[in-house]
Amino acid sequence: MLERLWNGWRAQYVQRETKHEPTPESVFTQILKSGLPDDETHIVHRGPLCFVILNAFPYSPGHLLVLPDREVGDRELLTAAETEEIWATVTMGVRVLKDEYSPQGINVGINLGQVAGGSIAQHLHVHIVPRWGGNTNFMVSVASTKILPEALDITSHRIRKAWLRLQS
């Protein structure tokens, strides 16, 4: 018997059109230019040169992406100021996740290029992923399903609030 697990926000991912030609702008650039409010786009922090957004398809609650505002695919194309701000923002993102979620560990990483796992390779982004013992379970290996205990709007609210609290 097939079991079903409802995960409403994933519908947007599985229903999207698959295109093999590169888009003129990354989804991140499109979000920045959209004019939509940060609570709708799940942007949790904006700096002068970079921003932080929730991963729309997170590995775990609190999965953050730190990006330069400027669409750049390779780390060596970042300016010195962008590099400095991005890494300071990654450090702050780690502090925020530790304070708000108390993870047992955190993964920080960048996938440079599509074959390295960069799903949006044209716009460099640093992943910050909180981890807990047991947050990968039998569902991933048996049913190819990941269970997330918190909706993105709740996560973004918590992180935005914690970011402001720790910044002051």
pLDDT of residue 107: 94
The pLDDT tens digits for 42-95 are 999 999 999 999 999 888 899 999 999 999 999 999 999 999 999 999 999 999
Residues 6+ apart with CB under 8 A from 57: 10, 13
Residue ranges of the domains in the chain? 37-167
In CATH terms, the superfamily for domain 37-167 is HIT-like (3.30.428.10)
Which residue among the candidates 42, 63, 123, 125 is catalytic per the annotation?
Answer: 125
pLDDT of residue 116: 74
User: Would you call 125 a catalytic residue per the annotation?
Assistant: yes
